[in-house]
Amino acid sequence: MLNLENNLLSELPDAIFERSRLQMLESINLAGNKFESAPLQTLQRQYFFLSAVDLSRNQLRDIPAEDSIMVNIKKLDLSYNPLSQEAVENVLGEPKTVRELNLAGTGITSVTQMETPFLRKLNLSHNSINSLPDTVFERPTLLETLDISNNGLSELPHVWQRLKNLQVLDVSENPVMSILQGDLDGLEGLRSLKIHDFTMCTRLEKNAFKSLSNLAELEAYGYPRLGYLDVPGILRNLPALERLDIELKDAAIGGDHLTSALQPRLRELGLRGPRVRSLSSGVLAGLRGPSVRVGLRNTSVSALPPALFFTLPRSTRLELDVSGSKLSTLGPPLLAALDERKGDLTLIGLADNPINCDCGARALRRWLPGAGMSGIRCVTPENLAGQLLIEVADDELTCDPNRPPTHLKVHWFLHRRPHIPQNPT
């Protein structure tokens, strides 16, 4: 293995990899350099051994057709190069034995029929692809991982019937307008699906997930134009979930919303959505794995129920991420529950919430040092904004709107104290 990443190389000497000097080169990393032409002639010296080449983040435009060294490489990364359409066609359309191919961010606008029958992993993300014809995947039927996120797809491609071995699919951040029944048919073996950040989506049917009974991971959030999402209906079609990150459109979330997913096998649960304002005490009932991560990300939840953790077995280690929510404080009953599970429960993301430093924050102020969370800052009231909560005195944490801030009282005292004559001696 040879790593020459992030240098200023624009070429390699023709004889640098002569067999007399280097017996066997299997993997080379040339990412982040200044190559305008791929140094394939130089690499040809190691034709029989070279299996992995990383040329990402260079200035490559042209890739020659029918180059013998390209035929033999098993793992090829050309991502984030300004490749010409001809170069893309040479990479995809010429017969190769490549197993992993990364063409992310290479300016691709259309995809030709692929001549890569052994391909297992393909990354076409961050391009300008607006359609994937059925003929594209006639040959690479062994494909297991496909990433077509961050493109221009307005509808899901109907190519899944050819990809019976597909395990991982990412179509996130496309202008997909709807996901309807039948759009995911043919993906019966799929284990991981990412369909988040569909900012143009106005319809998502629960029956679209009917064929995904083997799905273990689902990321489905970021639907600002979607008025309603039948989360219970979707989850009933997904009995094998181990990781779920989903947006909810309801204001109050109870255990009935997530019952189908809250099984002992679930090890990660993410709940999102600005419409979510409150959680019931039983929302986590059913989680029983040895280690579980729960995320309340970008919600409008302003308070956590004190009994939130009561349904969790003491044998379960829990990580709770509240990043981007609207928590103003943590009340004494909740802090007591956190202390009771100390060592079994980790709270993260509290600093990313609008903490209100009034009289209700006194218990939180006393609790923070012992929890190792000294970096929590006040957001309100205005006179305490930006200050570390643990550095604010208890008498400044007030709920009396008429009480002047401490610095104003001191100022008044300094200017109104009585005159004391000096001792004449």
According to the model, what pLDDT value does residue 404 have? 56
Of 119, 161, 126, nearest to 144 (Cα)? Answer: 119
Of 399, 395, 291, nearest to 345 (Cα)? Answer: 291
According to the model, what pLDDT value does residue 93 have? 87
Compute the Cα dihedral for 65, 69, 72, 74 and give only its sign: negative
According to the model, what pLDDT value does residue 11 have? 94
Residue 270 is encoded by which pair of tokens? 């993410």
Distance CA 111, CA 124 (A): 9
342 with 372: CB under 8 angstroms?
Answer: no
Q: What Å distances lie between residue 215 and 210, 241, 304, CA to CA? A: 10, 6, 30
Compute the Cα dihedral for 298, 301, 306, 307 and give only its sign: negative
Of 278, 276, 294, nearest to 286 (Cα)? Answer: 294
CB atoms within 10 A of CB 424: 4
According to the model, what pLDDT value does residue 400 have? 77
Distance CA 3, CA 165 (A): 33
Residue 49 is encoded by which pair of tokens? 């051994």
Instruction: Give per-residue burial for 383-396: e unless 16+ CB within 10 Å, then b.
Output: ebeeeebbebeeeb
- Tell me the domain boundaries of the chain: 1-175
Mean pLDDT by 10 residues, the chain (425 residues): 97 92 94 95 89 97 79 93 93 90 96 92 97 91 97 94 95 97 95 97 95 96 94 94 96 88 93 94 90 93 91 91 92 91 90 93 92 90 93 88 54 47 50
Distance CA 133, CA 237 (A): 28
Q: CATH for 1-175?
A: 3.80.10.10
- If 0-12 CB within 10 Å is exposed, 13-18 middle and 19+ buried, where does residue 155 land? middle
Q: What Å distances lie between residue 110 and 92, 122, 235, 307, CA to CA? A: 11, 15, 35, 54
Identity of the amino acid at 11: E
Phi/psi of residue 19, nearest 5 degrees: -60, -25
